[in-house]
Amino acid sequence: MTDQTATITLGDTSVDSPVLKGSVGPDVVDIRKFYGQTGAFTYDPGFTSTASCESKLTYIDGDEGVLLHRGYPIGELAEHSSFMEVAYLLLNGELPSADALAHFDNTITRHTMLHEQLATFYRGFRRDAHPMAIMCGVVGALSAFYHDSTDIQDPHQRMIASHRLIAKMPTIAAMAYKYSVGQPFIYPRNDLSYTGNFLNMTFAVPAEDYEIHPAVERALDRIFILHADHEQNASTSTVRLAGSSGANPFACIAAGIACLWGPAHGGANEAALNMLREIGRPERIPEYIARAKDKDDPFRLMGFGHRVYKNYDPRATVMQKTVREVFAALKVNDPVFEVALQLEEMALSDDYFAEKKLFPNVDFYSGVILSAIGFPTTMFTALFALARTVGWVAQWNEMISDPAQKIGRPRQLYTGPTQRPYVPVDKR
């Protein structure tokens, strides 16, 4: 709280609202009493100027291109940490000791198996079902199988549900891939790392062992770190809103997966690689930049632009570096990377993108790497969901354990018909 107030005058009513100050970032005007004091709502569709909650998890400075998880810069976490360590940090608030990390890692490992009956759930989908359709369905169904961890008022059950969700997402995602290619499901293995286990469940076959390439395991683990959490983005806000009604955590994460699927959000990584492949070669880039600038053309550069970042997305910086590492390790020479690099260079030298502060975001390069590793584009958003489950679960826990938490229930600006009498059908 500060001693500052913000005064809004509406007709002959003047209202002073307290100004609250965070540890860093913009102050907020506390308008919780505004409607009661004035009879008017504030209006902010898209929430461009609205703080929906108080949080201690992730801080973004969009102008400076800063992303902190519990105060630690994303570049340092990507360089020095692991996805499991970042998961512990987001859930618990501090970096773990070596013993605490080993215990957490072991706990997660022992929750990676799925109830065997869930394997039959996949049989209900067409083989060509989009993996995100499967993820929505299977994750939502988890509450039918793990009902012993759905009492959200019990901190112990909340912790078990959190561990189950983080642990089982790789298994569910890998099974979605296996089902789509008609290969048998591969069981989790407790002797592998979180990311190594996911690679093995995805690419191993019973006929022969799968050799996990260390550079690929490291690169994918780093990609998971880059996607772990991102403040109050659309899918995290969906998880919080679903959780505010008291819905069980599995249902809330399924709601987050559904929201993430959209091409304006997590679906952009699949759309970005499809766009790069459609462009095909550098000579065609000007045509697509012209389309992105054309008001009459709905085409947008996928993987470009961001609601918060009006500078370079710090995750895209790490992602571009990781492309080079994976390409070198796998001796890949996919021309799509050159198209991406030249598209970025041409767009960033164009006034349209400069004026609108449109830079590459986390989705611009991620697909290039995932494709080089061997994932089909339809799996890209499923991997985003896998990683973002850590953030969703941490944000959900923060919300549920906040004593001030209330059900989210926004109001509206109504512009429909005012009251009118019913007209019988023979009088219309």
Kindly list the residues in this chain that would bind ligand SDX in the complex (CB under 6 A).
230, 233, 264-266, 268, 292, 300-308, 356, 358, 361-363
Residue 308 vs 330, nearer CB to ligand SDX: 308
In the complex, what is the shortest distance from the CB of residue 424 to ligand SDX, in angstroms, rounded to a whole number? 45
Residue 158 vs 265, nearer CB to ligand SDX: 265
In the complex, what is the shortest distance from the CB of residue 234 to ligand SDX, in angstroms, rounded to a whole number? 6
Q: Are strands 58-61 and 5-10 parallel, antiparallel or unpaired?
A: unpaired
Q: Catalytic one among 105, 229, 313, 363?
A: 363
In the complex, what is the shortest distance from the CB of residue 165 to ligand SDX, in angstroms, rounded to a whole number? 17
Residue 249 vs 314, nearer CB to ligand SDX: 314
In the complex, what is the shortest distance from the CB of residue 381 to ligand SDX, in angstroms, rounded to a whole number? 10
3-state DSSP assignment of residue 17: strand
Contacts of 319 (CB under 8 A, 6+ apart): 223, 226, 362, 364, 365, 366, 369
Q: Given CA atoms 272, 277, 278, 283 in this order, what sign does their dihedral have?
A: positive
Residue 140 vs 266, nearer CB to ligand SDX: 266
The two structure tokens encoding residue 150? 């759905």
How far apart CA 397 and CA 167 sit, in angstroms, is: 16
In the complex, what is the shortest distance from the CB of residue 36 to ligand SDX, in angstroms, rounded to a whole number? 31
Q: Is 100 exposed, middle or buried (0-12, 13-18, 19+ CB in 10 A)?
A: middle
Partnered with residue 5 across adjacent β-strands are 18
Residue 363 is among the residues annotated as catalytic for this protein = yes
In the complex, what is the shortest distance from the CB of residue 275 to ligand SDX, in angstroms, rounded to a whole number? 10
How far apart CA 238 and CA 260 sit, in angstroms, is: 9
Listing DSSP states for 214-244 in one string gives HHHHHHHHHHHHHTS--SS-HHHHHHHHHHT
Please work out, in degrees rounded to the nearest 5, the angle formed at the alpha carbon of residue 183 by the alpha carbons of 252 and 115: 40
How far apart CA 150 and CA 126 sit, in angstroms, is: 30
The two structure tokens encoding residue 151? 């009492």
Half-sphere exposure of residue 137: CA atoms within 13 angstroms, side-chain side: 17
How far apart CA 170 and CA 111 sit, in angstroms, is: 11
- Residue 318 contacts residue 74 (beta carbons within 8 Å): yes
Q: Catalytic one among 111, 306, 350, 402?
A: 306
Contacts of 356 (CB under 8 A, 6+ apart): 305
How far apart CA 309 and CA 293 sit, in angstroms, is: 19
In the complex, what is the shortest distance from the CB of residue 340 to ligand SDX, in angstroms, rounded to a whole number? 13
Residue nearest to ligand SDX (CB): 305
Residue 64 vs 94, nearer CB to ligand SDX: 64
Residue 91 vs 316, nearer CB to ligand SDX: 316
Residue 295 vs 428, nearer CB to ligand SDX: 295
Burial string for 182-211 (b: 16+ CB within 10 Å, else e) reads: eeeebebeeebbbbbbbbbbbbbeeeeeee
In the complex, what is the shortest distance from the CB of residue 261 to ligand SDX, in angstroms, rounded to a whole number? 11
Listing DSSP states for 238-298 in one string gives HHHHHHTTT--HHHHHHHHHHHHTSTTTTTHHHHHHHHHHHH-SGGGHHHHHHHHH-TT--
Q: Given CA atoms 228, 80, 108, 395 in this order, what sign does their dihedral have?
A: negative
Residue 219 vs 362, nearer CB to ligand SDX: 362
Q: Which residues are marked as active site? A: 306, 363
